[in-house]
């Protein structure tokens, strides 16, 4: 089914900002400099940003990977792929091991990745012997959310601004430090700069890009630290190739998650009407199988599971409370 990637801006504005040296590609060259010698050619591992030509125009590239460092203790491997005709030659393993070296090997407490089920045994051989949960890629039309029997009236009220506490992430009442604390509680990730950049990318970008972030704030409770309204949940959506990608979807309970989804669908549909991008009004979201409320919500809408992946760890599994994680931020970066 492919990755269904989003726009390039996410890479430059969020991913590279978090860890500029985290992206590598493998290129076949005639002279051996580094890597695996195959048929008189070597695969040379390069760091993104040092290329002489545009990567999309370089036909010698056969593999790629990201190895993002989140502080001193945590890291994530993603975007790992080798061209099909070059698999089984050692090129993939060479760049994978290079990425692990970049992350500091055993000195880093937790290194995670999402593994498709068929590759789980291979990652286990590389030391990824721990796991936290299974992801399910659910897909369905935005119309299911705003026109469903249970959500139609809610969608109308949200569109008219009649539901208290339902706001855009750009609302000044949103306490951005709470975004980080909520993610840490529900997923174990301690990456404040990344999640704030991720939220900002969705909340404060060019409106014509159709990147949207929404939140629900308590109308009765405040944060004891910031004195701003208590954050009950937030979510983001961005256009990709064949759908809109949702992530994260963090919420204190299933009803908050439902309201966030409805608000997101209302905003995405309105954005498409204002300035059509012609991206199908379909949502993709990677939900957490361990969160039974999330599974029940998407089962109710009839959204199928397209592919499953196992969240695997080398080292310590960060402590988490999956009951509030209805959808991960992004499969590629955790």
The per-residue pLDDT for range 238-250, each reduced to its tens digit, is: 999 889 999 999 9
Residues 75, 295: Cα–Cα separation, whole Å: 27
pTM > 0.75: yes
pLDDT at position 311: 97
Confidence of residue 53 (pLDDT cuts 50, 70, 90): very low
For the cut 60, the answer to whether the pLDDT of residue 48 exceeds it is no
- Cα 180 to chain centroid distance, Å, stands at 15
Residues of the chain with pLDDT > 90, as a percent, come to 68
Residues 115, 314: Cα–Cα separation, whole Å: 12
pLDDT at position 33: 44
Q: Does residue 51 or residue 158 have the better pLDDT?
A: 158
Residue pointed to by tokens 């040296």: 21
Q: Does residue 16 or residue 188 have the better pLDDT?
A: 188
pLDDT at position 52: 46
Q: Which phi-psi region, left, alpha or beta, contains residue 86 (left: φ > 0; alpha: ψ -120 to 50)? A: alpha
Backbone angles phi, psi at 21, to 5 degrees: -100, 25
pLDDT at position 40: 39
């Amino acid at each position: 089914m492919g990755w269904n990637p989003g726009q390039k801006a996410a890479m430059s504005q969020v991913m590279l900002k978090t860890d500029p040296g985290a992206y590598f590609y493998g290129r076949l060259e005639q002279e051996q400099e580094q890597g695996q010698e195959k048929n008189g050619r070597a695969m040379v591992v390069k760091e993104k940003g040092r290329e002489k030509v545009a990567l999309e125009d370089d036909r010698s590239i056969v593999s790629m990977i990201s190895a993002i460092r989140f502080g001193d203790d945590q890291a994530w491997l993603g975007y790992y792929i080798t061209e099909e005709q070059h698999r089984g030659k050692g090129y993939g393993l060479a760049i994978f091991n290079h990425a692990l070296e970049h992350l500091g090997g055993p000195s880093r407490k937790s290194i995670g990745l999402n593994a498709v089920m068929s590759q789980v045994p291979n990652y286990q051989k590389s030391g990824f012997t721990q796991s936290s949960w299974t992801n399910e890629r659910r897909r369905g039309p935005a119309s299911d959310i705003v026109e469903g029997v249970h959500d139609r009236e809610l969608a109308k009220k949200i569109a008219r601004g009649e539901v208290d506490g339902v706001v855009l992430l750009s609302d000044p009442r949103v306490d951005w430090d709470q975004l980080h604390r909520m993610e840490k509680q529900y997923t174990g990730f301690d990456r404040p700069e990344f999640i704030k950049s991720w939220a900002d990318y969705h909340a404060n970008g060019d409106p014509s890009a159709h990147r949207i972030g929404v939140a629900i704030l308590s109308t009765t409770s405040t944060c004891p630290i910031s004195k701003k309204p208590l954050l009950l949940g937030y979510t983001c959506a961005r256009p990709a190739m064949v759908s809109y990608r949702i992530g994260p979807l963090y919420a204190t309970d299933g009803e908050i998650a439902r309201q966030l989804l409805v608000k997101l669908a209302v905003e995405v549909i309105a954005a498409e009407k204002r300035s059509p991008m012609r991206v199908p009004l379909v949502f993709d979201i990677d939900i957490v199988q361990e969160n039974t409320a999330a599974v029940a919500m998407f089962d109710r809408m009839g959204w199928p599971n397209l592919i499953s992946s196992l969240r695997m760890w080398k080292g310590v599994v960060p402590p988490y409370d999956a009951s509030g994680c209805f959808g991960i931020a992004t499969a590629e970066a955790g």
